[in-house]
Structure 1
C-alpha cells in the first residue's frame, strides 16, 4: 500500500541517512571467511524530525503521520545525499538499456559499481533521455509511479539508451508512534523518527 505523496522537504532538514546490507559472515577453522549477501540491493534508512522546533512544523509532521496511518502506507522521501542520477542529472548519466528495434519500455536505474539499482519513483518532469548520446525532447513518456520510460518508436538495434533524473525513495515510517515535547510558546521538540525504504 503506497501513497504517491512526497514528504515535505522543510520537515526533512536535520535528517540522517544510512544504508544497510544483510551479509552473513562465517569464520572457518582455517581463519578464512565465507561471506554471503542475502540482499541484492542495500536498504536505505533515515532519521527525521531532529530539526523540527516550531509547533507549526510539528503539527504538519503529525498530520502527515496520521494521513499515512503510521507505518501502514508508504510514501516518497527525497534523499538529498543521493537523489539524482549524477551531479547535474544530465541525459547521458545512466545507461538504462540497449535498443533491439522492438523494445519500447526501459526501466530507470542507477549504477553503483557493479550494483544496478532500479529507480521506480522519479521526480515529475525531471527525466531527460538520450539515444546514442543525443537528447530526445519528445517521442517518449515516463511513468512517474514505476520509473518506466516508454518510447513511441523503439530505439534502433544496438542504440544506447541513457537517462538523467532526480528521484525519490519509497519509504514508510518505521515506528508506531511520534513523541512530541512542548518546550515553549510555539516551540516544541520531536524525537527522531525512523523511516525505512520499502520495495514497491
Structure 2
C-alpha cells in the first residue's frame, strides 16, 4: 500500500463529520439470548471531507489533494479534530499523559498508544502517525530529551530509547497524532452552482491499517 506522509489540509478537515466504527457479529439464539463477537481488535474511523468546504478555493485545494493521491491509491494523514492528542480535550499535552508500559532492562523500542477508559473497561489504541516535534517522553518522573535520549519513527509511532529503561520503570508519553486514511472513492462530483447554493460534495475518507 502506498502512503504519502502528508496531512490533508487541517482547515478543511475542521468541519468534517466522522468517528470510530466497530464490527460486531450477533447471532440470535432460539432461546432469545444472543452471542456477540468481533473479528476486529481495533476500530476503524470514517470521515466526510466534503463538509469542511467553505469556498471555491477549498474545492480547488480538495481536488488538487485528491489528484495528487491518485484517488484511493495512496493513503495520507488526517487530523481528527475531535481526537488528535494524548491529553484531554481542554488539557495541555505533557510527558505523563499516557502509559506505554514498563521497562525490563533490555527492551529499547515501544509503541505509542492511547488508552480510552470508561468505568472498569478500557481500550488501548496504537498510535501510528504522531505529529513531528510533539512527542514527549518520561521514564518514571524523568523527562527525556528528544533526539538525544530517544528517537521517534513518525511513520510507525515507534519509540526507540538510546538505552533500555530499567526494569519496572514506567514509561509515559504525550503527543499529537494524525489518523492514517485514504479516500473511499475514486471520483469527486462537484457542481459549482450547487456548491454556491449550499450543497457540498460527498467525499468519504476511511482509516487504513498500518
TM-score grouping bracket, smaller chain normalisation: over 0.9
Runs of 4+ in 1 over 2 A off after TM superposition: 186-190
The residue correspondences of 1:5-154 to structure 2 (distance < 5 A) are 5-87=6-88, 88-113=92-117, 114-138=122-146, 139-154=149-164
Q: Between Structure 1 and Structure 2, which shows a larger proportion of helix residues?
A: 2
Structure 1 stretch displaced more, 169-178 or 7-16 = 7-16
Indicate conservation of the 8 Å contact 1:58/1:188, yes or no.
no
Offset of residue 133 of structure 1: 2.5
- TM-score of the pair, normalised by structure 2: 0.90
Per-residue CA distance 1:147-190 (angstroms, 9 max, x = gap): 11111111101100010100000000001111111139x99854
Q: Do the aligned partners of residues 58 and 187 (structure 1) sit closer, same or farther apart at CA in structure 2, a change above 3 Å counting?
A: farther
Indicate conservation of the 8 Å contact 1:180/1:188, yes or no.
no
Per-residue CA distance 1:33-59 (angstroms, 9 max, x = gap): 100011001110001122323222111
Q: Do the aligned partners of residues 157 and 192 (structure 1) sit closer, same or farther apart at CA in structure 2, a change above 3 Å counting?
A: same
Which blocks of at least 5 consecutive residues in structure 2 are unaligned?
none
Partners in 2 of 1:6 and 1:179 — Cα distance?
A: 22
The count of aligned residue pairs is 200
Q: CA RMSD in A?
A: 1.8
- TM-score of the pair, normalised by structure 1: 0.94
Indicate conservation of the 8 Å contact 1:52/1:188, yes or no.
no
